Amino acid sequence: MITSEQITAIIRLLEAAGREIMIIYNSDDFGTSIKEDNSPVTKADFAADRIIKEGLKEITPGVNVFSEETKDVHYSVRSKWEPLWILDPIDGTREFIARNGEFCISLALSSGNKIVAGFIYSPVTGDTWYSLRGKGAWKEKDGKKTKLPLVKTEGAYQVNISRSHFTKNEELWIDKLRKFHDINIEIYGSAVKFCKLAEGVSDIYPKFSRIHEWDMAAGQLILEESGGVIVEAASLQAPVYNKESYYQPSFVAFSHRINEWRKLLDDLNSDQT
């Protein structure tokens, strides 16, 4: 487990990377290119990747970093990295390019295929959400730290969907959900969706399209430590990490409000209409 001093240093590190991101965000040249998987990458992604990796060498020496931007490490090597950091230097690059502010830095510490520490930082808002396994989750801004969740919604379920990656399967699933409960739709980009669940301002987040370990590692623990839950859609088990394939199965995430999530999923799965 990492220490309180390391937690503070990591938050300051993410803020430093965020400042560099914002310099590029407010510039006229993102240096955008397209990767082999047809997703965009900018010079802000690479700048944040470099800053965070260099900083982590000082804060947690000897702990390797598995990053979206340097992911091509053979599993025979990566499987021996224990523990390891899982990093997405900019989660929501499409949102960065669109300048809608809905992007973040996502950083998680994995040990024994489970996430033991998670950090999400929004460079635009200055919000940091973080968690330690078994120790709770918090939101910090301007030096003020508040334990999560913040609220518990009532009435209609607040359902998160992705701004850039919403799929037909997710639409159909949500249409089924409407038969069992009133819902409102909320649209967010990036792993900030997990933070909204952890805060309690959102209730449900279904994800049935391709997602990677670095997209959800930090968000999973922040949500779980706030009292929520995330389960793979097929197995109903919690996702695991540092697997040979870094793709994650479809999942559904619930805030602390949804105590009877198993029954809800059973009802949806039994509905054949």
pLDDT (0 to 100) of residue 273 = 60
> Does residue 190 contact residue 164 with C-beta atoms inside 8 Å?
no
Instruction: Answer whether 106's CB lies under 8 Å from 95's CB.
Output: no
pLDDT of residue 11: 97
CB 105 within 8 A of CB 89: yes
Digit-coded pLDDT (tens) for 63-94 = 999 999 888 889 999 999 999 999 999 999 99
Q: Which residues are within 8 A (CB) of 172 and not within 5 positions of it... i.e. 6 or more apart? A: none
Q: Which pLDDT score is estimated for 272?
A: 66
Tell me, letter by letter, the H, E, C secondary structure of 181-213.
Answer: CCEEEEEECCCHHHHHHHHCCCCEEEECCCEEH
> Strand ranges (DSSP E) for the chain?
33-34, 40-41, 64-67, 84-91, 104-111, 114-121, 128-132, 136-141, 144-147, 157-162, 183-188, 204-207, 211-212, 229-232, 247-248, 251-254
17 within 8 A of 30, measured Cβ to Cβ: no
In whole angstroms, what is the distance from residue 50 CA to residue 45 CA?
9
pLDDT < 70 regions, the chain: 272-273
Statement: 4-147 belongs to CATH 3.30.540.10: yes
Listed in sequence order, the residues at least 6 apart from 239 whose beta carbon sits closer than 8 Å to its beta carbon are 216, 220, 230, 232, 248, 249, 251
Range 157-270 has CATH code 3.40.980.10: no
Instruction: Please report, for the chain, the start and end positions of each structural domain, with discontinuous segments joined by +.
Output: 4-147, 157-270
Instruction: Specify the pLDDT at position 166.
Output: 83
Contact criterion met (CB below 8 Å) for 149 and 131 = no
